[in-house]
Amino acid sequence: MNTFWLSLAPILWLTIIAALTGMIFDIAIVLGLYSVILLGIVIYHLYTLYCLDQWLRHSDYSYSTVPDRSGLWGVVFARLARFVRRSDKERLGLNLSLERLQRATSALPEGIVILGDKDQIEWCNSSAELHLGLNLGMDAGQHITRMVRQVRFVAYLDAGDFSKPFLLNQTRFRDTLLSIQIVPYGDREKLLISRDVTRFEKLEIMRRDFVANVSHELRTPLTVIGGFLETLLEENKVSGDMEKNALRLMFDQATRMRRLVEDLLTLSRLENAGNNLAEEKVDIVKLLQGLYQEAQSLSAGRHTISLDLASHAMLLGSEDELRSAFENLISNAVRYTPENGVISLNWTVENGKGLFYVQDSGIGIEPNHIPRLTERFYRVDRSRSRETGGTGLGLAIVKHVLNRHQASMEITSQPGAGSIFRMWFPESRVLPAENVTE
């Protein structure tokens, strides 16, 4: 309000002076002078507005170039100067922060690429230039798929599912295996992070080859040892009880070692990138009926086992791998369910997805153990696992089989009340039943 009256004061004073002068002099002359002075004031304001417009159009908006005026315009420009000075400080601070951020990201071993709302390259660090063959000066504004010309990467980008990293074989510039992770942020922008995992992949290949080779070499001698021990036990060649117990113990341990070797070989086959998934129609009903009979034999009447087939739908996948996964869940239920316990095997289709689950009234699992159950050799109770003959690889095999079939597993359990292991298969792998007879 004070600024308003300050701007209005000259005109008010001029009007009062003109009225008083008009009582003395000719009113026409006074009005003429009054009009000329008002015209001068208007021209002054228009010129000041012109100066402000020129500053807004052509200036770099620095504090030193703010127009200098007196009166009300002086107040306005003083406030504008303070605003510009504060803006200059904030802009300088932002520039310094941006430079520090760019220096920090440039020092990272991971490649960083900032993608715009149309997946165009806005900025990248030196590691990204090395990994992806980019040149920020030349490639800025280009679509990322023009620089990374691989069909699998384009499909990964178009799918929009960035929950898991993508492995990219970059052979255009050097033989490198990259792990690509895309993180969406802001308004459709993305952050592409590349990591060189070539050395880790080579180590993983060496580990898999070592395990596979050692397991293969151990299988034959273990089979021979187990065969001779079984022969000695069956033909009753040993007379003493201690010798018989020793032979029986050796045979049990040889059998356990043979199972471990077989599981390791199964894992190696599942992890082998060259081992493509066999796509065949699997009759799940027939498969589960066979596994149900095997579960009855394994239980030897100690449990009540039921088979509930709510659907005759089939699955597209590998019958051998699915048999291995189902068999591991069923055998675990038999091993870890006390005598007189109840076990149910179930197959159904829910919302288009195939669902196989095993429910038991066994010992149950503490919640803190559930996330780690699919790790190799992880055991909730090592002593109980040795007693039941488990190898610690069953659920790891299940996880790999499900991953190869784009399926998932849910585990719900309560200590002392049993467990439920659910396998969910995607709708794309569920096939209608063929030749169903009631």
On whether the CB atoms of residues 364 and 327 are closer than 8 A, the answer is: no
pTM of the complete model = 0.56
**Is residue 289 located within the same domain as residue 427?**
yes
End-to-end alpha-carbon separation of the chain, Å?
A: 92
pLDDT at 437: 47
Relative to beta strand 342-350, strand 304-309 is parallel
Is 366 a member of any domain? yes
Amino acid at 255: T
Is the predicted pLDDT of residue 274 greater than 70, yes or no? Answer: no
Kindly report, residue by residue over 144-163, the tens digit of the pLDDT: 888 888 888 888 888 888 88
- The first and second tokens of residue 366, run together, are 């503490």
Is 437 a member of any domain? no
The chain-wide mean pLDDT, for the chain, equals: 79
> What is the number of other CB atoms lying within 10 angstroms of the CB of residue 418?
21
Choose from 3-7, 115-119, 214-218 the range with maximum mean pLDDT.
Answer: 115-119
Is 330 a member of any domain? yes
Instruction: Identify which has the larger pLDDT, 270 or 275.
Output: 270
Q: Which residue from 367, 390, 366 is spatially nearest to 378, judged by alpha carbons?
A: 390
CA dihedral 166, 354, 266, 373 (to 10 degrees): 80
**Is residue 287 located within the same domain as residue 394?**
yes
Q: What's the pLDDT band for 225 if we cut at 50, 70, 90?
A: confident
Is 417 a member of any domain? yes
User: How many domains in the chain?
Assistant: 4
**Residue 353: φ, ψ to 5°:** -100, 140
Under 8 Å CB-to-CB from 382, ≥6 apart: which residues? none
Residue with token string 């065969």: 227
**Is residue 309 located within the same domain as residue 358?**
yes
Expressed as residue numbers, the domain containing 265 is 201-271
pLDDT at 438: 44
Q: What is the average per-residue pLDDT within 4-15?
A: 63
Is the predicted pLDDT of residue 141 greater than 50, yes or no? Answer: yes
**Is residue 287 located within the same domain as residue 386?**
yes
Is 414 a member of any domain? yes
**Is residue 391 located within the same domain as residue 295?**
yes
Q: Is 83 helix (H, G, I), strand (E, B) or coil?
A: helix
**Is residue 323 located within the same domain as residue 356?**
yes
**Is residue 129 located within the same domain as residue 181?**
yes
